[in-house]
Amino acid sequence: MPETKQLNVRIEPEHEALARKTIERLRRGGAAFREALNALLHDDAAAVYLPASEIRSRFDNLEARIARLEHSQTPKD
């Protein structure tokens, strides 16, 4: 039997099923699954994640900048 280690982690409840499925696939998926998962985790384009709140905040900032630019370019009579 291979050597094992126990991990105790705290994750959000909505990620529990994904974490369990990933661990199970690591146990029985073999080298091909580990290589594919490792490639995904090292692919900067695939692993990028922004929470929706961060995206909304960035859009709000862009809208405010556009509004300031539009206001500053308004012809003055």
Comparing CA positions, the residue from 40, 4, 43, 42 lying closest to residue 23 is: 4
CA 6 to chain centre: 25
Please give the Cα distance from 41 to 36 (Å, whole number): 9
Enclosing H/E stretch for 32: helix 30-42
Least confident among 34-38, 45-49, 58-62: 45-49
The mean pLDDT value for 1-14 works out to 88
Q: How confident is the model at residue 44 (pLDDT cuts 50, 70, 90)?
A: confident
Please give the Cα distance from 20 to 26 (Å, whole number): 10
47 vs 17, which has greater pLDDT?
A: 17
The predicted model scores a pTM of: 0.52
